[in-house]
Structure 1
Amino acid sequence: MPPFPTYTRPDFTRPDLAAAPPARTEAAPRDGVLPAGFHATSNHPEYVHLGGGRWLLAAESRMDAVFILEGNTLRTVEPRLVMEGERVVVGRTENGEEGIFVHTTGFDAPTETAEDKFAFRSRGTRETPFSRSYDELYDILRHDRENGHIVWVLGPAVAFDRDSRDAMARIIGAGYCHALLAGNALATHDLEAALFHTGLGQDIYTQALLPRGHYNHLDVINEVLRHGSMEQAIAGLGIRDGIIRACLERRVPVVLAGSIRDDGPLPGVITDSRQAQDAMRIHARRATTVIALATQLHAIAVGNMTPGYRVLDDGTVRPVHFYIVDMSEFIADKLANRGSAQARAILTNVQDFMVNLWHNLRG
């Protein structure tokens, strides 16, 4: 049985929804410009009323996009990609008043009324035990390895420890990663670890600071630039381990989005923010499980791009699982405040998380 809850569709026979008007559309006045009153999408399941009681579920609603209605087809499009004349769904209400219904409870489990109105520990914190969260994640990853699209969003901390770096490489090699999204730093320090056994000049096992180690990542960038690409550098420098090498061996797509603070950057890092968004969004739209490790800005970016659900080929609607792994509660709260309500936090350091995950998945 799939490790996700059954989806309950809205009851469109309810009097208020049965009386809902068809959704309205207006033409985009020019490329990248929306008509007034456009409907901005969420990452919840959203339905548009075509009339006559026919409600159409958007296949991949995601935050801050718009709906384009073409006959009986509903497309979700970023505003900057809307073309002049396309019919944009308009309406700012969400409960059917304008033929738009945002369904926030489709995956909710039946609730039991607790006798106590007051209780301790009702919110996840660093004191929360995460044993069940881990067990659920193992089941999800085993299912989605063959039946989904697992996207990892990595901060460089994963490469700063020998064991977590090795664990991530093995997870990729075992098929538990279908796309990797990161920045220049993750690739740079993964290659630094391969060549020098350091991360920002610090030994990735002993944490000893090495003489002139602060040059190491700059030397790595220079060497990769000299070879022309990461793939050519890995072959030419005889690199035999690491996260990037594992992705190349498994043909796992790697999207590296640049930052204003990047050294170099490495060849292959996308420095145009729009191009980076488009490249990341390809995998966010396909994702069934996202795991974001110790990277606040990339986690928020991917959270904004990722639908809260997927419609499978057989019509089944399933949730998209989104895990945040960080030592701080701040990032989980930040994501929730940005609208990624499905994000679940496991509050620990990423090194312990990676090693624990691999030890359980490899069995």
Structure 2
Amino acid sequence: MFTLPTYTAPDFTESFFVKAPSVRTMPAPMDGVVPENFYATTIFPEYFKIHDSWQLMAESRMDCVVVIADDRPHAIEFRNVKKGDAVVVGRHEDGENGVYVDHFAFRKKQENGDNFSFRTSNSRETAYSRDYDRLYELLEFERENGYILWVLGPAVTFDQDSRNAMTHLIEMGYIDALFAGNALATHDLESHFFNTALGQDIYSKENKSLGHYHHIETINRARSCGSLKNLIEKYKITDGIVSSCITNNIPLVLAGSIRDDGPLPGVYADVYSAQDALRVHTRKATTIICLATQLHTIATGNMTPSYQVINGAVRPVYFYTVDISEFVVNKLKDRGSLSSKSIITNIQDFVVNLQRNLSLK
């Protein structure tokens, strides 16, 4: 049975916190520009002393500035700062300038053990049985109590079984929102029309004659319909990820890329519009699972704090990266984002294994 860890906030009655100064602010000199010596947010719980009261920032995001409005701290992207906003300044994180960052939230104390040991990092040789079991328990809990965001690369749709498994996960209630690029949706729909992805049969792996037309023919059909919803209705599509999202009212955020064909209707061509659309869901997400997409994984991780405040209680955000490449799953940590749990495996095997085991719950 999965249970959330208990978060213990700092004791702000301690003398150091009582004597600490209130946070300092300076007005933004112009739209999209902040004062020198601005404070930038981290992924951890951050407290700001406002009118002698320490307040936790409820909704955070890495690499934002903090604006004090209505006596509350708010994480604001640089581009969204308005002239005159009260921007927090000072770069101490230990309370000296009215800002305290709880770097050790949810971390367990180091248990006794040898200083030297083998296999301390994840690799292709790592045992993941326990990680899978914990993930099953977590998703069962989150289906009833949390908000599960999935970030998908197109590889999920390149195999018949993994495409079907992901569709079943949506229908079983394990997906509250889905983030991907133009390719994921394109090849999912291509699989409906032609049973191929980039012209290759998703079961037999046979390359079909003129198969390289399939994805752009799919895009053309979708664009002629004006929207993915209209496409689903016109062609009576009842299989696949896109259809399941639309049928079950699951938000599908598709972000464009410089290399996209088309793109499909509904794909965000402007990166900042895509970022804003995704942040609607990262603000609510309690578990995030990223599959075989390095750039979208990093983008999502950079927008996701290590915690959420739910009904006044602070709880951790669980973040999984899954890929067959060790480099990809470790890249998020290199970018300074939250500590993620990585599983190194074939992505199609992962999805099928996950769905089959959750079906037994």
Aligned ranges 1:186-225 → 2 under 5 Å: 186-225=184-223
Name the TM-score, length of structure 1 as normaliser.
0.96
Aligned ranges 1:73-222 → 2 under 5 Å: 73-114=72-113, 116-222=114-220
Cα deviation, 1:147-168, whole Å, max 9, x if unaligned, reads: 1111110000000000000000
CA deviation after TM superposition for structure 1 residue 247, in Å:
0.2
Which blocks of at least 5 consecutive residues in structure 1 are unaligned?
none
* Counterpart residue type for residue 288 of structure 1: T
Cα deviation, 1:225-265, whole Å, max 9, x if unaligned, reads: 12222111122223220000000111001110000110000
Aligned ranges 1:297-336 → 2 under 5 Å: 297-313=295-311, 315-336=312-333
Q: Does 1:26 align with 2:26?
A: yes
Cα deviation, 1:176-218, whole Å, max 9, x if unaligned, reads: 1111100100000000001111010111011111111111111
CA deviation after TM superposition for structure 1 residue 332, in Å:
2.4
Name the TM-score, length of structure 2 as normaliser.
0.96
Q: Percent identity?
A: 53
Describe the shift of the 1:148–1:138 C-alpha distance in structure 2 as closer, same or farther (beyond 3 A). same
**Range 165-174 or range 89-98, more displaced:** 89-98
CA deviation after TM superposition for structure 1 residue 31, in Å:
1.5
- Three-state SS of the structure 2 residue aligned to 1:361 is helix
- Three-state SS of the structure 2 residue aligned to 1:233 is helix
Aligned partner of 2:59 in structure 1 is 60
CA deviation after TM superposition for structure 1 residue 341, in Å:
2.9
- Three-state SS of the structure 2 residue aligned to 1:286 is coil
CA deviation after TM superposition for structure 1 residue 331, in Å:
1.9
8 Å contact from structure 2 (residues 330, 342) kept in 1: no
In 2, Cα distance between the equivalents of 1:234 and 1:192?
A: 12
8 Å contact from structure 1 (residues 10, 106) kept in 2: no
* Counterpart residue type for residue 57 of structure 1: L
CA deviation after TM superposition for structure 1 residue 16, in Å:
4.1
CA deviation after TM superposition for structure 1 residue 134, in Å:
1.0
* Counterpart residue type for residue 142 of structure 1: E
CA deviation after TM superposition for structure 1 residue 83, in Å:
1.4
In 2, Cα distance between the equivalents of 1:38 and 1:15?
A: 27
8 Å contact from structure 1 (residues 155, 294) kept in 2: yes
**Range 234-243 or range 185-194, more displaced:** 234-243
8 Å contact from structure 2 (residues 143, 174) kept in 1: yes
Q: Does 1:344 align with 2:351?
A: no
8 Å contact from structure 2 (residues 254, 266) kept in 1: yes
CA deviation after TM superposition for structure 1 residue 18, in Å:
4.0
8 Å contact from structure 1 (residues 42, 62) kept in 2: yes
* Counterpart residue type for residue 41 of structure 1: T
**Aligned residues between the structures:** 360
* Counterpart residue type for residue 20 of structure 1: A
Q: Which one of the candidate residues 336, 352, 356 is aligned to 1:355?
A: 352
8 Å contact from structure 1 (residues 328, 347) kept in 2: yes
**Range 352-361 or range 102-111, more displaced:** 102-111
Cα deviation, 1:114-159, whole Å, max 9, x if unaligned, reads: 1x21111111222111111111111111111121111110000000
Which blocks of at least 5 consecutive residues in structure 2 are unaligned?
none
8 Å contact from structure 2 (residues 329, 344) kept in 1: no
Aligned partner of 1:235 in structure 2 is 233
- Three-state SS of the structure 1 residue aligned to 2:163 is helix
In 1, Cα distance between the equivalents of 2:145 and 2:334?
A: 30
**Range 4-13 or range 293-302, more displaced:** 4-13
